[in-house]
Amino acid sequence: MKKFSFSIPVLIAGLMAATFSCVKKNEEFRDMQPIREVKMSTYDFLKSANKGGLYDTLIYLLDKTGLADKLKSGKVTFFVPQDFSIAAAMYDINFTREKRGDPGNWTVDSVRLGIWDTLLSRYMLEGTYDLDTLRYADGMNLVTPYGYEMNGKAIITTASGIENGGSMVIQYSDKNESRIMKNWVMTTTEAANLKTTTGVVHMLEPKHIFGFSSFTRMGYPPVRRPYFSQPMGIPGHIELGYYDHGGEGLAYHDNEIAAKGTANFRKDEGVDLDNCTEGLYNTGYTNINEWLKFTVKINWTGKYRLYVKVASPNDHGRLRIEVNDVNVSGSLAVPKSGGYQTWRTLTVPGVQLTEGVATIYHFLETGGYNAGRFAFIPEERVPYNMQPASVPGEIFATEFDFGLPGQTYFDSDEGNKSNSKAEYRVFEGPDCEKNATVPGTYSLSHGVKGEWTSYSIDVKQEGDYKISFNYSSGGTAGKLHLELDDVAITGSLSVPASGGYGVYKDFDGPVVHLTAGRHILKHVIDNAGYNLYKIKLIAQ
């Protein structure tokens, strides 16, 4: 930022000594604030006052927008922002860009010309308004060329600790389209009452930020966008901490500015996120009418079952879930669960969703409870990747088909109880464990005799296929078999010891004959004692 050793009043005084006309002896000096005069246009005055580049950027923008013509002719009152003010506004917009993940390298030419035109016009008023004109208790409402309302008020500053003992200045305010003064953004003049041949000039203080509170909001408006680079997928679950980017009023609403939750995550936003015992994050310190928005990609059209996690020591909570502004859940009552981390699952059957990008709206109708993750799971069989797994090929054990319990899987207890329960297939029964040998993947674990998972497959060509399993085990107790369309295609196969549950190996099963087309492959646990990563079907 440029620094200057002179002040605007001194600068004006020097210019006046050379160019001001003589003041008549009977000229009235009101409050020691004479109307001073220069024999040049407002635009020419700014160029002559541009010592040390004090107005380089301002003059450039006036020329570029064409607003310079208004200052060269006609009668205009101009509240002049310094380049300091414009530089501060550019700093703010680049700081905001960096917070949103964009490069903080914008220059004044990066901002749309229309924004400069709109905001510069808020400093210009048709007609002449001097200090005497603005000496009203509440100031004067001033309308800019585009019909935007500002306010100007003459005030006396404090000097040497004496209230109203200083000089008179103008308090110039952006009313923010509000009649309530606490919503206004104000600045004051550093020098005022300079008359030119085309109007009146008031020089604003250097600490003013150009655009008042509107520059960043208009020049780089917030855009709601997914937390990750792509929308989260449905079928699947949604973690509450991954609400969209975009900020207050656009991606979320919280009744308090500060983030009060226990989680050290997204602390620069108002949502109160806690570390969750059944998930990554939950919302806490909840209040009525708070909400979150999520951009999702619905990958299958049909009926879903909605699952919602809640926890509360109270029994008066309510929430709802909307999809594209349609309430798909009704008003859900939150039961008394026994504590803020004692979780219960609410279910809503028969929710119709249509394929495509959508906005999910998680709305708290009341407060006093914790809200956790939620999910939409199809109520009929849907392949995990929306298409059947191709054979020959590999089938990952945890990519069993979406669907309801007893339809696409059977598990002896509710919910994923393994170490991936915070992140993967969290509302479905089979226990999916992180596979440390292949980071980012999962294996079926904690199996119980009689549990099963099933998979839609597409056999490309009829023929013989060798079956191979990638597994780990702590001993030789494990047994399994496979079925195709509910008919066993293997006997009960003993799973060899691999050297531990963290050691994965392959073992071969029999060669089986498969017919071409779509089938349902079922993996059945005959005896516990192994983890299963994938099943391979290899053409012979």
Q: What is the mean pLDDT of the chain?
A: 90
**CA 467 vs CA 231, 266, 395: distances in Å:** 36, 47, 11
Decide if pLDDT at 122 tops 50.
Answer: yes
Q: Which residues contact 280 (CB under 8 A, 6 or more apart)?
A: 239, 241, 373, 422, 423
d(CA 400, CA 378): 13
Instruction: Give tens-digit pLDDT for 196-241.
Output: 999 999 999 999 999 999 999 899 988 899 999 899 999 999 999 9
Residue 128, Cα to own-chain centre: how many angstroms? Answer: 45
pLDDT bracket for residue 258 (50, 70, 90):
confident
Cβ–Cβ < 8 Å for 193, 38: no
Decide if pLDDT at 20 tops 50.
Answer: no
d(CA 166, CA 156): 6
Give the mean pLDDT of 374-398: 98
Structure confidence at residue 21 (pLDDT): 38
Q: Which residues contact 3 (CB under 8 A, 6 or more apart)?
A: none
Comparing C-alpha atoms, which of 212, 218, 193 is closest to residue 203?
A: 193
Structure confidence at residue 158 (pLDDT): 62
DSSP letter for each residue of 63-92: HHHTTHHHHHSS-EEEEE--HHHHHHHHHH
Cβ–Cβ < 8 Å for 537, 391: yes
Decide if pLDDT at 175 tops 60.
Answer: yes
**CA 311 vs CA 215, 237, 338, 410, 471: distances in Å:** 42, 17, 8, 27, 37
pLDDT bracket for residue 136 (50, 70, 90):
confident
Decide if pLDDT at 308 tops 60.
Answer: yes
pLDDT bracket for residue 31 (50, 70, 90):
very low
Instruction: Give tens-digit pLDDT for 397-451.
Output: 999 999 999 999 999 987 777 888 778 998 998 999 999 999 999 999 999 999 9
How many other CB atoms are there within 10 angstroms of residue 137's CB atom? 5
Structure confidence at residue 2 (pLDDT): 40
Structure confidence at residue 221 (pLDDT): 87
Decide if pLDDT at 161 tops 70.
Answer: no
Decide if pLDDT at 79 tops 60.
Answer: yes
